[in-house]
Chains A and B, each alone.
Chain A
Amino acid sequence: MRKKTLSEIAENFRNDKEIASQIIKWHTIEPKEAVYAPLPDQIHPDLSKALERRGIGRLYSHQAEAYQAVSDGKSITAVTPTASGKTLCYNLPVIQQIMNNKHSRALYIFPTKALAQDQKTELNELLELAEASINSYTYDGDTPAGIRQKVRKAGHIVITNPDMLHSAILPHHTKWVSLFENLKYVVIDELHIYRGVFGSHVANVIKRLKRICSFYGSDPVFICTSATIANPKELAEKLTGKQMQLIDQNGAPSARKHFVFYNPPVVNHQMNIRRSATLEVRRIAGLLLKEKIQTIVFARSRVRVEIILTYLQELVKNELGPKSIRGYRGGYLPTQRREIEKGLRNGDVYGVVSTNALELGVDIGQLQACVMTGYPGTIASAWQQAGRAGRRQGEALILMVASSSPLDQFVIQHPDYFLEASPETARINPENIIIMLDHLKCAAFELPFNEGEAFGGIDPEDLLEYLTEERVLHKSRGKWHWMNDAFPAHNISLRSASQENVVIIDQTETAAHKVLGEMDRFSAMTLLHDEAIYLHQGVQYQVEFLDWEEKKAFVREVEVDYYTDANLAVQLSVLEEDKSSETELARVSYGDVSVRAMATIFKKIKFDTHENIGSGPIDLPEEELHTNASWFSLKEELQDMTDDRVEQGLIGAAHALKAIVPVHVMCDPQDIQITPQVKAVHNQLPTIFIYDRYPGGIGLSEKVYELGSTLISEAAGLVRGCSCEEGCPSCVGTEISLTGGKRDALILLKLFAEAMESNHEL
């Protein structure tokens, strides 16, 4: 039987009654014509020859604009959707510069090793076509010791990642003299990735980089490329400390895209419960895969990825081989990931189920369809995932399947809000004191600090004095010297604020234990506790023993028909209130809090039916976290509102806020936590806490405070607009048992909004 084409399948979806009735909106994005500009005259003949051989006789307008600005010595930030030829925005000026002056050097920074590999291949192809004797090398953990010296001395273009820059290049900068003396360009690709904790760390690494450059007398131009976010220029300037020219008029063409918003059918009308998004995705992705349409399925969590992978492999195992559908996520080892990437490119792999690891610009070639299991949490993220489909094809299908979560329901019921809204703002907080202190140590190790020397615009004297008292630095004749036998960068990980990862060890074969992957400590509390079912490449493992002291989880392969889901109990206390505003009834504050979290119990949940088939305790110590928070308290007892009603109102309001907050503060839903408390420890009042999940905070809850009443009003709008009668998972949640819970949540939200508005009067 002939396989259907993508347009035929799309047509089927429109005509199939069952599917069509669940489609909230079918949005077609018309193809866009390219806008070209001629190749600049001064381009080196070898380079223009190479471009011609690649079939590039002219540039897209944004590439030409980038070239011009960089040639004028300006740092730039180019906003480039997937497949818009962003690499030429930096490769062109960089290669041109090196062709004109063989001593020039450039440093490329990619967020992951995989991306660096990918870009090296592309860059080297271009350099070969140009027959240029320009050396470009990757420098990462995989670089053999034998060629490291060559990279350091003779690499014109050094391609690395921030972790390597932080722990291997900067602390040994004296071995890189020829790079730092001649560094003309620093390229930062995937700028939007550098947000939150990671971005805050990397901003500090770049401060260190610039400090070393200035020691060797160079002052590189920064070239950043970013996916669409609300504040690319601001983020780039905060990250690099350089004035940026923004290039956001994209000249690349794009294919016709069908963006389909799909809301699963309601199965319980009273409770407004919908069919599970996972099951709907299984069905829809199955339809696509059976027609051999190369499809990428995105899921929000590692567990979801593995569940969907298991489903899909089962579903199509007779039509396609078992290896034709693969999982792809953060915990996999590099070799596994490379193999999958290769399979996608050469067509051995038809389907990929991924967490947002693949949002990054790894070139995986031809994917025709993209299915999102739930809204990915941010508008920018959703567009990035959508960009995975239709890179090369004439037409592409993108399906967003909503889950019952309030955030998903908000988005799916307001598709125009999603399609028209400006994307989120990326936040970093390089001045997070814990992060900055770590990097000041590294910086002092790299070069002594002079009295009065600023560290990226901040006067670090207080912190340097502190480090002197702690016997890490020694001050002598106006300089702070490193005076310690440690190597500071080794103890500092850029990827998390909590340092130690838990190593996952498979002991299925007694004689041959092997490491499956790693997981950060906070996630491990709920995903790797004793008896947890841990899924890896679709294979189920049971955790036999979590050694919390040694940070090791021992797992063994099992075959069961359930997965596990754990609860985290949280205690909060206020340490210091920095800002506040209030009315007579409510008070809104921002400041420092202490969070104590403890994993309590886990549930076993059956595949397919998703019913709860058992539970057990989790015996792990409490983890303490000092961070920033915004909190909303009710000051007085409300007339005619009982304690029960207040409690229900708080839970409902918190549930709605959970949906709204990540949309406005560009972050992973896990980066920010929202906890209602009937009697907060510090004031004994009913309070909702919104806090950053990282020590010292990364600016998310501060943003919540700044956004003020807009945010609260949006949450109220979500609750008011929901079609359910007495609350549902899509607005105030299902933990509310009293009638009128929706109304009470609205009352509280209104009071908080008023308190926030009074902000300016105080």
Chain B
Amino acid sequence: MNFKKKLERMKPHIKKTTEKPVVQTEKLPFLDVWNNHDTFVYQSEDHFCLIREVHYELDHRHGEFKLSSLIKAVEMWNRSDFNHSLSAKGYKAEDLFFFDTETTGLSGTGTTIFLLGYARFDGEKIILKQHILTDPSNEVALYLSFLENVNYEMLVTFNGKSFDWPQVKSRHTLIRNHVPKLPETGHFDLYHAAKRLWKSSMTSLKLKSIEEEKLGFERKEDIPGYLAPAIYFDFVERKNPEGMLKVLEHNEKDILSLITLYAHISAQLLGNDENQSSSEKLEAGKWYKKEGEQKRSSDYLNASFEMDQNPSAAYYLAMDYKKQEHFERAISLFEVTLEYGSPREQRESAIELAKIHEHQLKKLDQAYLYTMKAIKALDAEDLRQERKTDKLEKIKYRMNRISRKMRK
């Protein structure tokens, strides 16, 4: 079959995937440029890749924080007497492995990781390394060099649980007969942590936004991450490191931010941030509750409530008091939420108040009044109509029961 001829004709029917230029060259030109940027060749048999290595002082300031703040955070965790899924208790700063990749696209077997970057603490300095895939046929060297270098207990990433690490596993599977196994490790994913703490108060949870708002770090002349694939395709074609150096810089900043972000989130969870907002205290309290640390949880919720009468904190505290059957305290806190909370919190606390008055205090008139308040709050909620109707029916059911009891 003569495909070439057919192809010419069929061109309009064939969907173009891209317009990016890619050609091949054998040798690696511009080696001097690489060397001038702390980057050297790693060779294994006939495969090779590049490794860039730079060192940072502990005193290095990355935005508002020094890198050494990490050491303090790890120490604090080690002194703590409670559990938390982000706790570094039992680890040394040297055990943490701050890891970030750059890839040619979204997840899927065909997406290539062309940059594996990481930092770890080593005595009085921090070593940051970046392994660079110069050409897709050199993947074995990339992973060999990476696996020879890694010696760690705990990965620290930003969204690495669902993206970077599964993608590493996927690419590793393709060449698993030529390289050692990937180590089993723990994993702190700071994206999920950030989501817990700041989802309610921040509009964007991109690393860049967090850097700006929480870490006091602003990027200058940074290339946006979405350009990385195009830059890499161009690099594979022309071999000129110019664009890649920018990608390396971007990746380097990401990794440094992982260090100070972990330190900062730890400070949030360890009561070590003097500027912690009421909302952050509230979220930390909710998080500890999820972790099963009741004492820590109520400390944070109380702190949040004391700070500015936070109605959400009042609600969670009230739920605790209710469970412990401290009804009077529960009532006064629910009242706060009912007055100042969001419509949804108002409805929920009104219902809780109705329950307590109906079942515990047997004050049916009061209970009835609270159900009316619940309906009013529901009215102000932004819900789909069917969900609203559903909730309304439940409240009315309660109302009817109370009024039946009242007539008795």
Residue on B with the closest CB to A446?
A: B109
Judge whether B236 and A474 touch: CB under 8 Å. yes
Chain B positions within 8 Å of A695 at CB level: 10, 13
Q: Is the CB of B10 within 8 A of A696?
A: yes
Other-chain residue from A447, A483, A624 in contact with B136 (beta carbon distance below 8 A)? A483
Q: Is A445 an interface residue (CB 8 A)?
A: yes
Contact of B14 with A437 in the complex, beta carbons under 8 Å: yes
Assess whether B173 is in contact with A177, with CB atoms less than 8 Å apart: yes
Q: Which residue of the partner chain A has the closest CB to B21?
A: A471
B 227-250 contacts with A by CB, 8 A = 229-230, 233, 236
> How many Å from the CB of B262 to the closest CB on chain A?
27
Most buried by B among A434, A473, A474, A479: A474
B3 in contact (CB, < 8 A): yes
Chain B 159-200, CB-CB to A under 8 Å as 1, else 0, gives: 000000010011101100000000000000000000000000
Contact A466 B17 (CB under 8 A): no
Q: With A171-B109, A483-B104 as given contacts, are A431 and B10 in contact (CB-CB < 8 Å)?
A: no
Q: Is B394's CB within 8 Å of the partner chain A? A: no
Contact A482 B15, beta carbon cutoff 8 Å:
no
B105 touches A626 (CB 8 A): no
Question: Which of these, A172, A441, A475, contacts B109 with CB under 8 Å?
Answer: A172
A481 interface residue per 8 A CB criterion = yes
* C-alpha gap A576/B174 in the complex (Å): 43
Contacts of B13 in A (CB 8 A): 434, 626, 695-696
Known: A471-B233, A626-B10. A447 touches B174 (CB 8 A): yes
Interface residues in B278-298 by Cβ distance below 8 A to A read: none
The 8 Å CB contact of A488, one of B17, B21, B170, B174, is B17
- Flag if B17 contacts A441 (CB, 8 Å): yes
**A476-B136, A477-B137, A592-B9 known; A484+B173 contact, CB < 8 A:** no
A171 touches B110 (CB 8 A): yes
Evaluate contact between A172 and B135: CB separation under 8 angstroms: no
- Say whether, besides A172-B109, A445-B108, A476-B135, A434 and B14 are in contact (CB < 8 Å): yes
Give chain A's interface secondary structure class: mixed
8 Å CB interface, B124-150 against A: 135-137
Query: Would A466 and B3 count as touching, CB distance under 8 A?
Result: yes
Q: Select which of B4, B107, B166, B233 is within 8 A of A483 by beta carbon.
A: B233
User: Which B residues touch A441, using CB under 8 A?
Assistant: 17
* A residues in contact with B22, CB < 8 Å: 468, 471, 473-474, 483
Q: Work out how many contacts link A and B, with CB atoms closer than 8 A.
A: 122
Interface string of B90-132 (1 = CB under 8 A from A): 0000000000000011111111100000000000000000000
A761 at the interface (CB under 8 A from B): no
A476-B24, A476-B136 known; A174+B1 contact, CB < 8 A: no
Question: A101 near B: Cβ within 8 Å?
Answer: no
Find out whether the CB atom of B3 lies under 8 angstroms from the CB atom of A462: yes
Is B17 a contact partner of A470 (Cβ separation < 8 A)?
yes
**Residue pair A491, B105 in contact (C-beta under 8 Å):** no
Contact A462–B14 (Cβ < 8 Å): no
Assess the A481–B174 pair: CB atoms within 8 A: no
B136 to chain A, nearest CB (A): 4
Cβ of A762 within 8 Å of any chain B Cβ, yes or no, is no
Interchain nearest-CB distance for A61 vs B (Å): 42
A560 contacts the other chain (CB 8 A): no
The answer to whether the Cβ of A444 comes within 8 Å of any Cβ in the partner chain is: yes
B19 at the interface (CB under 8 A from A): yes
Interface 1/0s, chain A 349-392, versus B by CB < 8 A?
A: 00000000000000000000000000000000000000000000
B18 at the interface (CB under 8 A from A): yes
Q: Distance (Å) between the CB of B292 and the closest chain A CB?
A: 22
With CB as the reference atom, state the residue of chain A lying closest to B230. Answer: A485
Q: Is the CB of B137 within 8 A of A444?
A: no
Residues of chain A within 8 A of B14, CB atoms compared: 434, 437
Q: Is A229 an interface residue (CB 8 A)?
A: no
Task: For A486, give its contact among B4, B18, B170, B171 (CB under 8 Å).
Answer: B18
Chain A positions 435-479 with a Cβ under 8 Å from a chain B Cβ: 437-438, 441, 444-448, 462-463, 466, 468, 470-477, 479
Chain B hits for A438, CB < 8 A: 15
Contacts of B387 in A (CB 8 A): none
B380 within 8 A of A: no
Q: How far is the CA of A481 from the CA of B17 in the complex (A)?
A: 15
In the complex, B404 has a CB within 8 A of chain A: no
Complex Cα spacing A473 to B112, Å: 12
In the assembled complex, which residues on chain A have CB atoms less than 8 Å from the CB atom of B7?
433, 437, 462-463, 466
Complex contacts, A445 vs chain B, CB 8 Å: 108-110
B233: nearest chain-A partner, CB-CB: A483
B256 to chain A: closest CB distance in Å? 26
Q: Number of A residues contacting the other chain (C-beta, 8 Å)?
A: 47
Q: Separation in Å of the B20 CB from the closest CB of chain A?
A: 5
Q: How far is the CA of A486 from the CA of B233 in the complex (A)?
A: 13
Assess whether A434 is in contact with B10, with CB atoms less than 8 Å apart.
Answer: yes
Residues in B1-33 with C-beta less than 8 Å from chain A: 1, 3-4, 6-7, 9-10, 12-22, 24
Q: Does A514 contact B (CB under 8 A)?
A: no
Least Cβ distance of A438 to chain B in Å?
8
Asked if A175 is at the interface (CB within 8 A of a chain B CB), the reply is yes
CA distance A498 to B349 in the complex (A): 56
Q: Is the CB of A433 within 8 A of B17?
A: no
- Expressed in whole angstroms, the minimum distance between the Cβ of A334 and any Cβ of chain B is 21
Q: How far apart are A180's CB and chain B's nearest CB, in angstroms? A: 10
Interface check A419, CB cutoff 8 A: no
Contacts of B106 in A (CB 8 A): 485, 487
B24 and A474 contact, CB distance less than 8 A: yes
Chain A neighbourhood of B229, CB < 8 A: 485
Q: Given the complex of chains A and B, what is the CA–CA distance between A509 and B174 in angstroms?
A: 52
Q: Considering the chains assembled together, what is the distance between the CA atoms of A476 and B22 in angstroms?
A: 11
Please determine whether A173 and B109 come into contact, CB atoms closer than 8 angstroms: yes
Q: Which residue of B lies closest to A433 (CB)?
A: B6
Let me know if A471 and B19 touch, CB within 8 A: yes
Which residues of chain A have C-beta atoms less than 8 A from B111's C-beta? 485
Question: Contact: B112 with A482, CB < 8 Å?
Answer: yes
Contact A433/B236 with A172-B109, A482-B110 known, Cβ cut-off 8 Å? no
- Report B254-280 CB contacts with A as 1/0, cut-off 8 Å: 000000000000000000000000000
Q: Tell me whether A476 and B108 are in contact in the complex, defined as CB-CB below 8 angstroms, given that A433-B3, A485-B229 are known contacts.
A: no
Q: Chain A residue with minimal CB distance to B3?
A: A462
Contact of A486 with B169 in the complex, beta carbons under 8 Å: no
Which of A175, A476, A491, A575 contacts B170 (CB under 8 A)?
Answer: A175
| A485 and B105 contact, Cβ closer than 8 Å, known pairs A433-B3, A462-B3, A462-B4 | yes
Q: Are B108 and A172 in contact (CB under 8 A)?
A: yes
Contact (Cβ within 8 A) A431 B1: yes
A476 and B6 form a contact (CB under 8 A)? no
Given A447-B174, A486-B18, verify A475-B24 contact (CB < 8 Å): yes
Given contacts A575-B9, A626-B9, A696-B13, contact A487 B18 (CB under 8 A): no
- What B residues does A477 contact at CB under 8 A? 137
Bound: A431/B236 CA distance, A: 32
1/0 per position for A251-294, CB-CB distance to B under 8 A?
00000000000000000000000000000000000000000000
Enumerate 30 A-B pairs (CB-CB under 8 Å) in ascending A order. Answer: A171-B109, A174-B109, A174-B171, A174-B173, A433-B1, A433-B3, A433-B10, A437-B7, A445-B108, A445-B110, A448-B136, A462-B3, A462-B4, A463-B3, A466-B4, A470-B18, A471-B233, A474-B136, A475-B24, A479-B136, A483-B233, A484-B233, A485-B104, A485-B230, A487-B108, A491-B15, A592-B9, A626-B10, A626-B13, A695-B10
Chain A residues in the interface with B (C-beta under 8 A)? 171-175, 177, 431, 433-434, 437-438, 441, 444-448, 462-463, 466, 468, 470-477, 479, 481-488, 491, 499, 575-576, 592, 624, 626, 695-696
Contacts A171-B109, A177-B173, A474-B22 known; list 7 others, CB within 8 Å: A433-B10, A466-B3, A481-B136, A483-B236, A484-B18, A695-B13, A696-B13
Binding site for A on B (CB under 8 A): 1, 3-4, 6-7, 9-10, 12-22, 24, 104-112, 135-137, 166, 169-171, 173-174, 229-230, 233, 236
The 6 A-B pairs of least Cβ separation, nearest first, read A445-B110, A481-B136, A485-B105, A482-B110, A174-B170, A174-B173
